[in-house]
Structure 1
Amino acid sequence: MARGGQGLARVAVVVRAGAAPLWWVGVFAAGIGVLPPGVTGRRIGVLAGAALFLVTAVVVALARRRRYADLARGAARAGKHDVLQDRAVTVRNWRRGNRWWLLAAYAAALGSSFAVPAAGGMLLAGAGTGLRLKAAWLGRRERSLDTLLWVRVDWLDKRGGSPAGKAVRAYRGTGIAAGDAAPGGARRRDAALV
């Protein structure tokens, strides 16, 4: 980065990057996993999976909220030489760094179906839903603060990392119109011209 600028990735985009892959991996694993009757039987497996889905979604959505809130309150303004990473680049980096973990989670969810049908897949889908809910919560915070939250790329580890991990010491903030992602990390939809 020129003149001391830093590469910055959107916090909400990093959080949201894992939501879709976890959701789809979970849905496929649950769909295939419901085929074998398993040790417990399909009915118990699906009911246990539904409970796991709900509990996992709530736990993931609420995890580390205080840390995110503390970092958001202390966010300094981004400098003019800081480089804002595109949403697509952030998502691609997270997914590349975590692809083997996602594959292993899919295999584990399928394997668990022989004991408890569909439960492992529903757990993964719940984690994806929880990440989406956490990104939405971050989006509401960004709107209330009127500031988009960014984290230094070098503080995220090579696997995409957590934007609230130990290596992250502070967030940077920009105006609400900066970058190509809306508050919450979704693609920015340009307002229709009147």
Structure 2
Amino acid sequence: MTRGGRGGQGLARVAVVVRAGAAPLWWLGIFAAGIGVLVPGLTGRRIGVLTGAALFVVATAVVAYVRRGRYRALARSTARAGRNDVLQDRAVTVRNWRRAHRWWLLLTFLAALGTGFAAPAAGGLLLAGCGAGLWLKAAWIGRLEQADEALLWVRVDWLRAGAGRPAGRAVKAYRTTGLAAGDAAPGGGSRRRSAAMV
């Protein structure tokens, strides 16, 4: 983590925060769907899987596109990060988000498992679709960053006040740095393997 002096703010990358939930939701969803296929369920496997596929597509689209206007508005109302601001490492941002949401992730996984007894795989594929949607949203933010040639950052204290939502009401504006700042590429991926979902 880059250290600053007095008066600076802790900043986390917007795209990294968005991307932090993608992998857990994806893999928990796939795991829940795999278990669900083993259970006949009330609807039968075929209907359950077809329903799950439809839910996957809908969830991916909704999560990927929801609140894009809010992200654009915040991206327009930016201020340049100051010399004393502290840029949070990508790994720290991901770890903090996942730790703060671990019980929520567990509950959604259990809910997805439970739906398997009614419609096999449907709940798991819905969960996986949410993960895919977050990955697509992070990629879209990355395209915004590349177009403006500036990385988007959110104040850590605002992020905490908004329950980890980088476009929540607690967030008043983003801050920007050049594309070379921090250890995450545009879109929130690792600079060493920016194309991978992590």
**TM-score w.r.t. length of structure 1:** 0.95
Identity percentage of aligned residues:
73
Question: Are 1:35 and 2:38 counterparts?
Answer: yes
- Aligned partner of 2:12 in structure 1 is 9
Q: Please report how far the alpha carbon of residue 74 of structure 1 lies from its aligned counterpart in structure 2 after TM superposition.
A: 1.3
Q: Do residues 147 (structure 1) and 138 (structure 2) align? A: no
Unaligned segments of structure 1, at least 5 residues: none
Runs ≥4 residues deviating over 6 A: none
**Match of residue 127 from structure 2:** 124
SS at match of 1:154: helix
Q: Does the 8 A contact of 1:97 with 1:159 survive in 2?
A: no
Residues 12-55 of structure 1 show CA distances to partners (whole Å, capped at 9, x for unaligned) of: 00000000000000000000011111010000000000000000
Note if 1:188 corresponds to 2:186. Answer: no
Shift of 1:158: 6.8
Please state if 1:164 is matched with 2:167.
yes
Match of 2:114 among 111, 114, 117: 111
Distance, in Å, in 1 between the alignment partners of 2:136 and 2:118 is 30
Which secondary structure state, in structure 2, belongs to the residue aligned with residue 100 of structure 1? helix
For 1:14, what is the secondary structure of its paired residue?
Answer: helix
- The answer to whether the aligner puts 1:96 opposite 2:68 as a matched pair is no
Equivalences for residues 47-62 of structure 1 within 5 A:
47-62=50-65
Q: CA deviation at 1:179?
A: 0.1
- Number of equivalences: 190
Aligned equivalents of 2:170, 2:42: Cα separation in 1:
43
Secondary structure at the aligned position of 1:70 is classed as helix
Q: Post-superposition shift, 1:159?
A: 8.5
Equivalence for 2:66: 63
Give the residue type in structure 1 aligned to 2:133: G
2-structure distance, mates of 1:69, 1:14 = 16
Segments of 5+ residues of structure 2 without an aligned counterpart are: 194-198
Query: Which residue does 1:19 correspond to in 2?
Result: 22
Quick check: 2:161–2:170 contact (8 Å CA) kept in 1?
no
**8 Å CA contact retained: 1:12, 1:149:** yes
Cα pair 1:19 1:132 within 8 Å, conserved: yes
Paired amino acid for 1:163: P
Say if 1:118 and 1:86 are closer, same or farther in 2 by CA, change over 3 A: same
Shift of 1:99: 0.6
Q: 2:182 maps to which residue?
A: 179
